[in-house]
A and B are shown apart, each in its own frame.
Chain A
């Protein structure tokens, strides 16, 4: 998938989850901000991989560390907000590993 398509899809996922969370679940701006930073880092890594500066194995290991940190952070949150955020991260992880 091209980087631009990936960015569009990431933004669509973020927007959908943000809309859902606004209706039925509490929003934690800190989590959203960290999710956005993580995704930006992962997209930068993907660009390095497409440019040939990084192998796919290196990409997977590195982005695995990034997403794990976000998941660990989310686990410190309580309740439904945490479950929603975990769903968001899992969807983004699936997308990045496509």
Chain B
């Protein structure tokens, strides 16, 4: 009788632990598509900054293709991220990155980017890309 009660108690304890451990899994699983597309967008962005640092033509219109391509790429990344369950943090990060791309386009439309501006903004974009990739890769573990 005592053993039966004890085993029921242990079973209840194990069930509680199982429920508690499940509640720790609060993010989406790793997504290879997000990883690949974000890495590709990062490469395009780095190419843009290299060109903007040593411009043949610094005018916004000369870089119109880059702004259009990155906007389409981000839209694709966001649609994919939103489709995954429990992926709110990545979605929020991508929305902030989208806002940064819009601010970069706005800044560029207002005038040519100075070398200091290019260096500052490039560093900020690298920080954003690294943070989003860091989170995505952490989902693997």
Contacts and interface: CB of A to CB of B under 8 A. Distances in A.
A associates with B? yes
Interface of A: 34, 41, 55, 57-58, 61-62, 64-66, 68-73, 75-76
B93 A58 contact: no
B134 interface: yes
B121 to A, nearest CB: 5
A76 B104 contact: no
B106 A61 contact: yes
B69 to A, nearest CB: 19
Contacts of B89: 75-76
Contacts, number: 69
B111 interface: yes
B130 to A, nearest CB: 8
Nearest to B94: A72
Given A62-B117, A64-B100, A65-B103, A72 B131 contact: yes
B46 interface: no
Where chain B touches its partner, the secondary structure class is helix
B103 to A, nearest CB: 4
Contact of A68 (B97, B106, B110, B117): B97
User: How many of chain B's residues touch chain A, expressed as a range?
Assistant: 20 to 34
A55 B121 CA distance: 17
B127 A65 contact: no
A73 B107 contact: no
Q: Of A34, A57, A72, A76, which is in contact with the most chain B CB atoms at under 10 Å from its CB?
A: A72
Interface of B: 89, 92-93, 96-97, 99-100, 103-104, 106-107, 110-111, 117, 120-121, 123-125, 127-128, 131-132, 134-135, 138
A70 B123 CA distance: 11
B106 A57 contact: yes
Contact of B103 (A55, A64, A70): A64
B107 A68 contact: no
B6 to A, nearest CB: 36
Contacts of A58: 107, 110-111
B96 A68 contact: yes
